[in-house]
């Protein structure tokens, strides 16, 4: 059986792939060696700018199957019938670290899910926590800068991390999550995923509901202690990637059950918490979980760069029956995510295989740009309306309109009866067992005790005291003990 011929990128056969062309046997190399120059130039360009956040990721393909009827709440086609299956791609990630970081670190985990539906791709971009550190996107660049490497020292600094949190009391709830037992998942398979934001569902009659997504792992929650995480990160920085890859390869397909919380739109204005505040949850006793379906991952990507690194998710990729809410962080991300991908991957990143629709075909008037493959032929027009049978608008909104009132300007979010920065953080603390509380206190004190400024420490302690008197007292005592050692 003859072997396939190695060629250059233009398709010409390569005579010698072991030796560069030179001026004589021992002479300098020749600029005319097209194969050498092509190989080196391509090698120099094998990397693209890494994501500013969520840089280190793993991913897999699978499917989502509807198990319960939710047609009374949304007319989304992929949720239209029990038993209906939709192909998906799920990307997991750490948030703060760079592409070269370790998996087993204390950090939120990204949970970005792309549904390849018959009405276009639907992207649900969330985390493994139901809340986040801030509730207004104008603070997001500052928050991320405080958590990443310091411009001078080139490393993450406790002074920066805790100084930002000292000035962001709304972060207390998420800090309590992050420093608790679920701050270091044992693997991607053993953690939950959440849409985190509030979204909108609209049914066929135009009735609107606000919705929160909960993907509950069917493998069970498993987490690592700070000591276990540090040991694993040192032994195998790729621990979570390896676990996911090997599990799927040996036929152990991880799965999650999707539940939703549904709030009739009319109830949002008078709910005791601001339902669009990303730093808060909706207690399950107010809005119980309702089962929707089952998510299964059963196929690994063939090429991590092409299918994980170049996977692009944007929360503004909605489908009919699903839309945004007034959640300020979501509103900011509707722009920021897509813009990040246009910068990293180019304006035509949606044409890449992992990002392109699979159950339908994208039809629009976008043309040209870097790496364009979207000419659509000599008869196709790049404007609308036209007289040449081009695609036309439907006149049917994807979701129900959001009512707005008041004057333009920079406004704080309206307060609801139970809105403060600390109540839900205290509720979370009081739900923990004695052992969980002890580990939480140790994790917080281990970081906060490294802060050099007493006033920053005191501001953070005040947040924990406000959440729960016992919580604050124990953190304060633990910090004091570590600083006296």
CA distance 202 to 367: 32
> Strand, helix or coil at 182?
helix
Q: Is residue 317 within 8 Å of 84, Cβ to Cβ?
A: no
Kind and range of the H or E element at 322? Answer: strand 322-323
Active site annotation includes 341: no
Q: List the catalytic residue out of 54, 197, 214, 341.
A: 54
Active-site residue, from 35, 63, 121, 127? 127
The radius of gyration of the chain's CA atoms, rounded to the nearest angstrom, is 25
* Nearest residue to 259 (alpha-carbon basis) of 232, 226, 294, 231: 294
Active site residue 203: no
Q: Comparing C-alpha atoms, which of 215, 191, 248 is closest to residue 61? A: 248
Bridge pairing between strands 85-94 and 120-127: unpaired
Measured distance CA(142)–CA(129) in Å, rounded: 21
The DSSP result for 346-370, as a single string, is: -TTGGGSTTTS-SSS--------ST
Pair of tokens at residue 91:
């990307």
**Residue recorded with tokens 């490393």:** 155
Distance from C-alpha of 392 to C-alpha of 163, rounded to nearest angstrom: 52
Q: How far apart are the first and last CA of the chain?
A: 72
Helix locations, 151-281, DSSP H: 158-166, 172-179, 226-235, 239-249
* Contact predicate 156/102, CB 8 Å: no
Bridge partners (DSSP) of residue 127 are 110, 194
CA 342 – CA 312 distance, rounded (Å): 9
Q: Which two tokens stand for residue 274?
A: 């601001």
**Residues acting as catalytic residues:** 54, 127
């Amino acid at each position: 059986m003859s072997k396939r011929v190695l060629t250059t990128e233009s398709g010409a056969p390569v005579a010698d792939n072991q030796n560069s062309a030179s001026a004589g046997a021992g002479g300098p190399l020749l600029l005319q060696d097209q194969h050498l120059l092509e190989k080196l130039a391509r090698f120099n360009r094998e990397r693209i700018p890494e994501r500013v956040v969520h840089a280190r990721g793993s991913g897999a393909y699978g499917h989502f199957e509807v198990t319960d009827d939710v047609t009374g709440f949304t007319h989304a086609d992929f949720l239209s019938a029990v038993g209906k299956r939709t192909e998906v791609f799920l990307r997991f990630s750490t948030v703060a670290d760079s592409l070269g970081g370790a998996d087993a670190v204390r950090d939120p985990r990204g949970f970005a899910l792309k549904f390849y539906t018959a009405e276009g791709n639907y992207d649900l971009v969330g985390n493994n926590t139901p809340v986040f550190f801030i509730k207004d996107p104008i603070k997001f660049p500052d928050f991320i800068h405080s958590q990443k490497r310091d411009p001078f020292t080139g490393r993450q600094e406790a002074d920066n991390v805790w100084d930002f949190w000292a000035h962001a009391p709304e972060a207390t709830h998420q800090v309590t999550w992050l420093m608790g037992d679920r701050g270091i998942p044992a693997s991607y398979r053993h953690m939950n995923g959440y849409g985190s934001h509030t979204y909108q569902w609209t049914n066929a009659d135009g009735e609107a509901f606000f919705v929160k997504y909960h993907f509950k792992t069917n493998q069970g929650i498993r987490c690592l202690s700070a000591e276990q995480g540090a040991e694993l990160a040192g032994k195998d920085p790729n621990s979570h990637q390896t676990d996911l890859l090997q599990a799927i390869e040996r036929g152990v397909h991880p799965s999650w059950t999707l539940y939703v919380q549904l709030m009739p739109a009319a109830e949002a204005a008078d709910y005791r918490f601001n339902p669009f505040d990303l730093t808060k949850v909706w207690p399950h006793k107010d809005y119980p979980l309702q089962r929707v379906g089952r998510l299964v991952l059963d196929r690994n990507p063939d090429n991590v760069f092409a299918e994980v690194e170049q996977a692009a998710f944007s929360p503004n990729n909605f489908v009919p029956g699903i839309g945004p809410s007034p959640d300020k962080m979501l509103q900011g991300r509707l722009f920021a995510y897509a813009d990040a991908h246009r910068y990293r991957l180019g304006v035509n990143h949606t044409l890449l295989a992992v990002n392109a629709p699979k159950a339908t075909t994208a039809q629009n008037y976008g043309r040209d740009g870097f790496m364009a493959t979207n000419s659509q032929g000599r008869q196709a027009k790049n404007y609308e309306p036209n007289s040449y049978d081009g695609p036309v608008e439907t006149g049917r909104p994807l979701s129900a309109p959001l009512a707005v009132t008041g004057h333009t300007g920079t406004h704080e979010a309206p307060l609801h009866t139970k809105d403060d920065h600390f109540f839900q953080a205290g509720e979370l603390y009081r739900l923990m067992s004695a052992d969980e509380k002890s580990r939480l206190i140790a994790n917080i004190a281990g970081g906060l005790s490294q802060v050099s400024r007493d006033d920053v420490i005191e501001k953070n302690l005040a947040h924990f005291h406000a959440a729960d008197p016992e919580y604050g007292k124990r953190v304060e005592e633990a910090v004091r003990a570590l600083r006296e050692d």
